[in-house]
Amino acid sequence: MFLYQLLNFFFASSKKEEDSKYDLSLYKRGDLLEVPRTLFTHFGIYLGDNRVAHLIPDILPVISKNKSAVAKMVTNNRLLAGVITKVASVRVDSVADFAYGSEILINHMDKVCSQPPLDGDEVARRAEKLLGSVTYSLLWYNCEHYVMYCRYGMAISYQTYQFCTIVRKIVCSRMSAYVTALCGVCTMLYLGCVTLLTVLPTLLISFTIWMAA
């Protein structure tokens, strides 16, 4: 019993210290908050009273009906599993749980987006209206799409655009065309199957990549 109370005291103290790390007076209702999370930046909308609405992948609701466990801070393991299984929701967490120990940028996207931000109350109202389970896509509907719609009225993701640009540069390059052609030739020679049905796809794919480069 004593050990249980001691552990509770320890976690409560840690939680209090984590919460005090963030100065809530810096945030206004409707502010767009962003923090580094795994390989990408994570975004949320500040609702006021130490509450942040954010779209986050989470596998736990699928495998557990324990609402108290689901309500706890989403760890990176839960997040990554949610990304893979495309399970996500728009939920409300404290600033500390949202930030996951990272420094918070406030309204940084105002400098990037050409569209002026909506009124703070309207931003928060939109964020609250979309609470609940959503269909998640890393490329087509993620946390950035959500906050950009809420604050600027358009669901876009600069991270997705940059990611697709990098992938395009890698895939649609002359080197990629060379490698594709070489792999096709090596495969045909290894299998001893050099026919029109194997040569034509190899040439067509390599030519398409070459023209796209």
Q: What is the pLDDT of residues 160-189, one digit of tens each?
A: 877 777 776 776 677 877 788 888 888 878
Q: Note whether 95 and 27 are within 8 A (CB).
A: yes
pLDDT in tens, 138-155: 888 999 999 999 999 999
Q: What does DSSP assign to residue 141?
A: B
Given a cut of 90, whether residue 23 has pLDDT beyond it is: yes
Give the bridge partners for 153, in sequence order: none
Query: How many Å apart are CA 209 and CA 171, to the nearest integer?
Result: 8
Q: Which CATH class is domain 17-163?
A: alpha beta
Q: What is the pLDDT of residues 89-141, one digit of tens each?
A: 999 999 999 999 999 999 999 998 889 999 999 999 999 999 999 989 988 89
pTM: 0.73
% pLDDT > 90, the chain: 55
* Among candidate residues 209, 184, 180, the one with its CA nearest the CA of residue 198: 184
Residue 108 DSSP label: G
Per-domain residue ranges of the chain: 17-163, 173-212
Q: How far is CA 210 from CA 35, 63, 96, 183, 185, in A?
A: 39, 46, 49, 15, 16
Q: What is the mean pLDDT of the chain?
A: 84
pLDDT category of residue 44 using cuts at 50, 70 and 90:
very high
Helix residue spans in the chain (DSSP H): 2-19, 60-63, 67-71, 76-85, 95-99, 120-129, 143-152, 158-171, 174-191, 196-212
Asked if pLDDT for residue 3 goes beyond 70, the answer is no
Active site residue 183: no
Residue in 113, 143, 150, 183 annotated catalytic: 143
Predicted pLDDT at 45: 98
In the chain, the amino acid numbered 46 is Y
- Long-range contacts, stretch 201-206, CB < 8 angstroms, 24+ apart: 205/180, 206/177, 206/178, 206/180, 206/181
